[in-house]
Structure 1
Amino acid sequence: MLRITEIKLPLDHPEEALHEAILKRLGIAPAELLSFKVFKRSPDARKKSDIALIYSVDVEVRNEAALLAKVTAADRKRKAPGMVMPSPDMAYRFVGHAPAGFSERPVVIGMGPCGFMAALLLAQMGFRPIVLERGKQVRERTQDTWGLWRKKTLNPESNVQFGEGGAGTFSDGKLYSQIKDPRYLGRKVLEEFVKAGAPEEILYVSKPHIGTFRLVGMVEKIRAEIESLGGEIRFRHKVEDVLIEGGQVKGLFVSAPEKGPEFLAASHVVLAVGHSARDTFQMLFDRGVHIEAKPFSIGFRIEHPQSLIDEARFGRFTGHPILGAADYKHVYHASNGRSVYSFCMCPGGTVVAATSEEGRVVTNGMSQYSRNERNANAGFVVGITPEVDYPGHPLAGIAFQRKWESRAFELGGGEYMAPAQLVGDFIAGRASTALGEVEPSYKPGVTPCSLATALPDYAIAAMREALPALDRQIRGYAMHDAVLTGVETRTSSPIRIRRGKDYQSVNTRGLFPAGEGASYAGGILSAAVDGIEVAEAVVKSLLGLPD
Structure 2
Amino acid sequence: MLRLTEVKLPLDHTPEALRAAVLARLGLPGEELLDIHVFRRGYDARKRNAIQLIYTLDVTLRDEAATLRRFPQDQHVNRTPDMAYRFVARAPEGFANRPVVIGVGPCGLMAALVLAQMGLRPIILERGKAVRERTKDTWGLWRRSELNPESNVQFGEGGAGTFSDGKLYSQIKDPQHHSRKLLEEFVKAGAPEEILYLSKPHIGTFRLVTMVESMRRTIEELGGEYRFNTKVVDLDIQATADGGRQIRGVMLEDGGYLAADHVVLAVGHSARDTFAMLLERGVFMEAKPFSVGFRIEHPQGMIDRCRFGEAAGNPLLGAADYKLAHHCKGKGLEGRTVYSFCMCPGGTVVAATSEPGRVVTNGMSQYSRAERNANAAIVVSVTPADYPDGVLAGLGFQRELEERAYQAGGGAYFAPAQTVGDFLANRPSTTLGEVVPSYKPGVTPTDLAPTLPDYAIAAIREALPAFERQVRGYARPDAVMTGVETRTSSPLRIRRGESGHSVNTRGLFPAGEGAGYAGGILSAGVDGIKTAEAVALSLLGDIAQAA
Q: TM-score, normalised by structure 2?
A: 0.97
Give 1:144's aligned residue.
Answer: 137
Give 2:417's aligned residue.
Answer: 420
Is 2:517 the counterpart of 1:530? no
Give 2:242's aligned residue.
Answer: none
Give 1:411's aligned residue.
Answer: 408
**Candidates 204, 225, 237, aligned match of 2:230:** 237
Give 1:2's aligned residue.
Answer: 2
Is 2:98 the counterpart of 1:105? yes
Spell out, residue by residue over 1:447-491, the C-alpha distance to the aligned partner (whole angstroms, 9 max, x if none).
000011110000000101111111111111000000010000000
Distance in 2 between the 1:82 and 1:519 partners?
Answer: 35
SS in 2 for 1:544: helix
Instruction: In structure 2, give the amino acid aligned to 1:7.
Output: V
Give runs of ≥4 in structure 1 deviating > 3 Å.
Answer: none
Give 2:212's aligned residue.
Answer: 219
Instruction: In structure 2, give the amino acid aligned to 1:19.
Output: R
Is 2:448 the counterpart of 1:454? no
Give 1:496's aligned residue.
Answer: 493
Spell out, residue by residue over 1:480-520, the C-alpha distance to the aligned partner (whole angstroms, 9 max, x if none).
00001000000000010000000000000000000000011
Give 1:506's aligned residue.
Answer: 503
Give 1:254's aligned residue.
Answer: 252
Question: How much identity, in percent, do the aligned residues show?
Answer: 70
Give 1:91's aligned residue.
Answer: 84
Is 2:60 the counterpart of 1:60? yes
Distance in 1 between the 2:61 and 2:177 partners?
Answer: 24
SS in 2 for 1:236: coil
SS in 1 for 2:203: coil
Distance in 2 between the 1:138 and 1:349 partners?
Answer: 21
After TM superposition, give the deviation of residue 392 of structure 1 in Å. Answer: 2.7
Spell out, residue by residue over 1:141-179, the C-alpha distance to the aligned partner (whole angstroms, 9 max, x if none).
000000000000000000000000000000000000100
**Candidates 123, 127, 132, aligned match of 2:125:** 132
SS in 2 for 1:392: coil
After TM superposition, give the deviation of residue 370 of structure 1 in Å. Answer: 0.3
After TM superposition, give the deviation of residue 101 of structure 1 in Å. Answer: 0.3
Give 1:362's aligned residue.
Answer: 360
Of 117-126 and 26-35, deviating more is 26-35
Distance in 2 between the 1:484 and 1:46 partners?
Answer: 27
SS in 2 for 1:307: helix
Distance in 1 between the 2:21 and 2:31 partners?
Answer: 15
Distance in 2 between the 1:519 and 1:225 partners?
Answer: 28
Distance in 2 between the 1:96 and 1:31 partners?
Answer: 44
Is 2:430 the counterpart of 1:433? yes
After TM superposition, give the deviation of residue 64 of structure 1 in Å. Answer: 1.1
Give 1:37's aligned residue.
Answer: 37
Distance in 1 between the 2:397 and 2:299 partners?
Answer: 32
Q: C-alpha root-mean-square deviation of aligned residues, in Å?
A: 0.9
Distance in 1 between the 2:54 and 2:106 partners?
Answer: 30
Give 1:291's aligned residue.
Answer: 285
Give 1:172's aligned residue.
Answer: 165
After TM superposition, give the deviation of residue 98 of structure 1 in Å. Answer: 0.4
Give 1:302's aligned residue.
Answer: 296
Is 2:271 the counterpart of 1:277? yes
Distance in 2 between the 1:403 and 1:228 partners?
Answer: 44
Give 2:395's aligned residue.
Answer: 398
Distance in 2 between the 1:473 and 1:190 partners?
Answer: 32
Distance in 2 between the 1:529 and 1:323 partners?
Answer: 27
SS in 2 for 1:378: strand
Distance in 1 between the 2:366 and 2:278 partners?
Answer: 36
SS in 2 for 1:49: helix
Instruction: In structure 1, give the amino acid aligned to 2:179.
Output: G
SS in 2 for 1:284: helix
Distance in 2 between the 1:192 and 1:474 partners?
Answer: 36
SS in 2 for 1:360: coil
**Candidates 295, 308, 315, aligned match of 2:309:** 315
Give 2:466's aligned residue.
Answer: 469
Spell out, residue by residue over 1:97-147, the C-alpha distance to the aligned partner (whole angstroms, 9 max, x if none).
000001100000001000010000000000000000000010100000000
Distance in 2 between the 1:361 and 1:367 partners?
Answer: 20
Instruction: In structure 1, give the amino acid aligned to 2:363.
Output: G
**Candidates 345, 350, 353, aligned match of 2:351:** 353
Instruction: In structure 2, give the amino acid aligned to 1:484.
Output: M
Distance in 1 between the 2:237 and 2:30 partners?
Answer: 66
Distance in 2 between the 1:121 and 1:319 partners?
Answer: 39
Instruction: In structure 1, give the amino acid aligned to 2:526.
Output: V
Give 1:69's aligned residue.
Answer: 69
Instruction: In structure 2, give the amino acid aligned to 1:51.
Output: I
Distance in 2 between the 1:435 and 1:95 partners?
Answer: 56
Instruction: In structure 2, give the amino acid aligned to 1:14.
Output: T
Distance in 2 between the 1:69 and 1:526 partners?
Answer: 37
Give 1:16's aligned residue.
Answer: 16
Is 2:155 the counterpart of 1:162? yes
Instruction: In structure 2, give the amino acid aligned to 1:430.
Output: R
Runs of 5+ in structure 2 lacking a partner?
A: 240-244
Instruction: In structure 2, give the amino acid aligned to 1:49.
Output: N
Distance in 2 between the 1:464 and 1:437 partners?
Answer: 21
**Candidates 256, 264, 267, aligned match of 2:258:** 264
Spell out, residue by residue over 1:320-370, the C-alpha distance to the aligned partner (whole angstroms, 9 max, x if none).
011111000010011222110000000000000000000000000000000
Distance in 2 between the 1:323 and 1:397 partners?
Answer: 39
Spell out, residue by residue over 1:30-82, the C-alpha distance to the aligned partner (whole angstroms, 9 max, x if none).
22112120011011101001111010100111121111111x23xx3xxxx31
Distance in 2 between the 1:120 and 1:469 partners?
Answer: 44
After TM superposition, give the deviation of residue 14 of structure 1 in Å. Answer: 0.6
Distance in 1 between the 2:246 and 2:143 partners?
Answer: 45
Distance in 2 between the 1:36 and 1:277 partners?
Answer: 47
Instruction: In structure 1, give the amino acid aligned to 2:266.
Output: A
After TM superposition, give the deviation of residue 430 of structure 1 in Å. Answer: 0.2
Instruction: In structure 2, give the amino acid aligned to 1:339.
Output: T
Spell out, residue by residue over 1:171-203, the C-alpha distance to the aligned partner (whole angstroms, 9 max, x if none).
000000100000111000000000000000000
Runs of 5+ in structure 1 lacking a partner?
A: none
1:202-213 → structure 2 map (5 Å cutoff):
202-213=195-206
Of 287-296 and 331-340, deviating more is 331-340
SS in 2 for 1:7: strand
